[in-house]
Amino acid sequence: MDLTTVEYEKKGHIAYVALNRPDKLNAMDATMHEELGQVWQDFQADPKLRAAILSGNGRCFSAGADLSGGAPENYKYTGNFPDITRTRGVYKPIVAALHSHCVGYGMWIAMDTDIRIATADVSFWLPEPQWGIATIPAAWFPRIMPWAIASELLLSADRVNAERAREVGLINKVVADDQLMAEAEKAAHRLAELSPKAVQGMKELMVRGSSLDYTAVDQVTNFVQTRVMNSNDRKVGAQAFASKKTPEWPDE
């Protein structure tokens, strides 16, 4: 995979993914969107990988969309977001290691992850209303955070600092700068220790069930739960429990 704006490395069961346009504060252009989407598809398809860590190289996580080309004369919504994993069937867990600015689309990428570790200088900001832009994640954020918090971010264009983000549940933990990657790795390795089928099945239920009514949720639960409970992971887990040994999950 020939990547120019994203770094991608595999170590054991963990994938390390980093936004890599530090000279542009990791502003996201079309190339980065496409490359990050390719990375997530490879991550999901590789049977040895069980969790990923997403970070940003340089001074901040991401300054958002690259607007250096100016606004288009005639905007047309495409609905194509290759780097948003929840629209692409990527159900392996992703840990975010966040620092400094998470702005606009960069914040959406951060919120698309599952476990979020951040430094004390992190801030989240959706400045689009200041520039006459209706931000695309407006329809998504009320699904992943309380309505009042989504309104605070989307409508007021105010920055949310680390303390406030932790208070309202946007991030899981605030750590010292020099502990950011170590804490992210700790979280990722914990996820990788568990049954891949069970972890991915539960994330799939979380993602797919978040926008369905009860009847549809019940149908999806039946489908995923039956698949997981009839998997080799379930057999390995039962044997390990009975023998009081650590399970060795198959890569499949």
88 neighbors 51 (Cβ within 8 angstroms):
no
pLDDT of residue 71: 65
Residue type, 227: R
pLDDT of residue 181: 98
In a domain, 209, yes or no: yes
With 0-12 / 13-18 / 19 or more C-beta atoms within 10 angstroms meaning exposed / middle / buried, residue 242 is: exposed
- Distance from C-alpha of 35 to C-alpha of 1, rounded to nearest angstrom: 9
Q: Structural domain of residue 173, as residue ranges?
A: 6-192
Shared domain for 215 and 134, answered yes or no, is no
Q: Could you give the C-alpha distances from 128 to 72, 153, 155, 161, in angstroms and in order?
A: 15, 10, 9, 18
Shared domain for 15 and 107, answered yes or no, is yes
In a domain, 164, yes or no: yes
Shared domain for 45 and 67, answered yes or no, is yes
Q: Report residue 206 as tokens.
A: 């979380």
Shared domain for 122 and 223, answered yes or no, is no
Closest listed residue to residue 116, CA positions, set 60, 169, 56, 39: 169
pTM of the predicted model as reported, rounded to 2 decimal places = 0.89
CA 220 to chain centre: 22
In the chain, which stretches have pLDDT less than 70?
Answer: 71-72, 214, 217
Shared domain for 88 and 155, answered yes or no, is yes
pLDDT of residue 133: 82
pLDDT of residue 238: 86
In a domain, 248, yes or no: no
The total number of structural domains that make up the chain = 2
CA 140 to chain centre: 13
